[in-house]
Amino acid sequence: MKKNEFEEYLYHSLDDVTDSRVKEAMLYSLTAGGKRIRPLMLEEVLEGYGIDPQKGIYFACALEMIHTYSLIHDDLPAMDNDTLRRGKPTNHVMFDEATAILAGDGLLTHAFAFAAKTQADPAVVVSCMRDLSESAGPDGMVYGQCLDMQEKQSYTFEDIRKVYQYKTGCLLTIPLVIAAKLAGVSEKDLSLWKEIGYKLGLAFQIQDDILDVTKTADELGKTNSDIRNEKVTSVSTLGLKQSEELMNELYEECLSLCHNLDGFDPEGLVTLINSVIQRVY
């Protein structure tokens, strides 16, 4: 299953949802495009273990639903107040604020119903769903968003690292963890997957910070709200050069760790990570 096939699955993932303005708004953002990094990561890990990626399709769609919900809410006037996402009007601009909130709520809750369809050992599925909930919730991404909204007198890079660990890293780690659990890996290798996810999430967010100051809104397909809102970022704290050096170091560590896993062929995942490294938006 590659990106175009996944898009077809994703488009039909809301077929059993009752028709409404909220469903229309859910589908609008869910099918607005994007890199689909999280579901593709899950697929590549399964394939690296010689497992049919169809085994993880419901979790893959659930991941994208949760990621999309987070973007809808992040764009709201109460958060970053963005008007452009993936080159299109943000959900609250296209519909209205109340509908956008409900669309995000709908995607988040539907994600777990969809993930529950996974055909695997029920104990493993429950474990993966618990991990997904923790990664998306108040001990994961939501906590990161909370930290990101707090105003402090001064910030160190360690403060920013913590925000990125939760706000971005949790949802980039969980596809690796879910795929690893579906593949039945050892606790040792599961820890390695978590380390890869943490480093990948930090590198990815630093790369976003770099792109925000080196690309225009038209090039990015979204507004540069961090600059407009005067948010503290890795670039504003470390400077552009040091941020680039740290990003490259983290990506290299990720690629190296991918070769240290028992019974895993890293070729597909390494190719995917390299495409992330080379992204321009």
Residue 265 sits in a domain whose CATH number is: 1.10.600.10
Residue 153 · residue 185 · CB < 8 Å: no
pLDDT at 119: 94
What is the tens place of the pLDDT at every residue in 102-116? 999 999 999 999 999
Q: Taking all residues of the chain, what is their mean pLDDT, rounded to a whole number?
A: 92
**Model's pTM, two decimal places?**
0.92
Domain containing 55: what range? 3-277
Number of domains forming the structure of the chain: 1
Across residues 7-27, what is the average pLDDT? Answer: 94
What is the tens place of the pLDDT at every residue in 151-210? 766 788 899 999 999 999 999 999 999 999 999 999 999 999 999 999 999 999 999 999
41-45, 58-62, 168-172, 230-234: segment of lowest average pLDDT: 230-234
Q: Where are the alpha helices (DSSP H) in the chain?
A: 3-11, 21-30, 37-48, 57-74, 91-94, 97-115, 122-136, 141-149, 157-164, 170-183, 187-214, 217-220, 225-228, 234-238, 240-257, 267-277
Look up residue 58 and give its two tokens: 């419901």
> What is residue 205's three-state secondary structure?
helix
